[in-house]
Amino acid sequence: MVFIVGMGLMSFNNISKDESCFRKEKGLNLKGYEVGDEATDFKLKNVDGKMVSLSDFKSAKGFIVIFTCNHCPYAKKYEDRVIELDKKYKSQGYPVVAINPNDPNVQPEDGYQQMIERAKEKKFTFPYLVDEGQKIFPQYGATKTPHVFIIQKENGKNIVKYIGAIDNNYDNPNDVSEYYAQDALNSLIKGEPIKTTKTVAIGCTVKVKK
């Protein structure tokens, strides 16, 4: 089985090796979800001060959960594309829910106040939540910012349908040739099988409390 990474290919073994190195380096119990797993709900603080859970979105058919942050150059490159994803798919039942997994003591630019300022500056159209205590990103298995998990509601459960990158060119949206997240969402909306269910997230490593 082969999965996609960037502009080329990477085997599942290499994906697992990359994630295993992150776990070992950070000393994490990073089990993480696989495609087909049920994702448990969470309750995290939004930049407006309110607590947000997936269960709050009563009419949603699923979610685009994206682990991202303020400081990472990769995350910054994708901000406008994430906004466009939310605008395009929220009305079709798949809103973006962004989560900052980083410890602000390690990366001060990713502090809560900085999140508030960034969301206001960029006019985020989606919740931007803080993973206080860093309990949620290990459950998902997020290792990078950005790292995408597309979820579908099925029989009252949140089932993971896609994991990985948004597309295959972080640097220039005009040079993108593979729209992984959009393709997965379009397949879900049409009720068709997702062609590529897992890619390698390209970004900065999650900043974990030392």
Give, in order, the Cα–Cα distances in Å from 57 to each of 36, 63, 90, 113: 21, 9, 11, 25
Instruction: Answer yes or no: are the C-beta atoms of 149 and 181 closer than 8 Å.
Output: no
Phi-psi region for residue 156, left (φ > 0), alpha (ψ -120 to 50) or beta?
left
pTM: 0.88
pLDDT digits (tens, 9 = 90+) for 54-86: 999 999 999 999 999 999 999 999 999 999 999
Domain that holds residue 10: 2-205
Residue 208: which of 100, 55, 118, 106 has the closest Cα?
A: 106
Residue 137: which of 100, 96, 82, 97 has the closest Cα?
A: 100
Residue at 40 is within a domain: yes
Residue at 97 is within a domain: yes
**Count of domains observed in the chain:** 1
Instruction: Answer yes or no: are the C-beta atoms of 174 and 77 closer than 8 Å.
Output: no
Residue 149: which of 56, 62, 71, 24 has the closest Cα?
A: 62
Residue at 210 is within a domain: no
Across the beta sheet with 96-100, what order do the strands follow? 51-52, 44-46, 128-130, 96-100, 62-67, 147-154, 157-164
pLDDT at 23: 45
Is the predicted pLDDT of residue 189 greater than 50, yes or no? yes
Residue at 80 is within a domain: yes
Residue at 117 is within a domain: yes
Instruction: Answer yes or no: are the C-beta atoms of 110 and 168 closer than 8 Å.
Output: no
Residue at 44 is within a domain: yes
What CATH number is attached to the domain comprising 116?
3.40.30.10
Residue at 43 is within a domain: yes
pLDDT digits (tens, 9 = 90+) for 124-159: 999 999 999 999 999 999 999 999 999 999 999 999
Residue at 27 is within a domain: yes
pLDDT at 209: 87
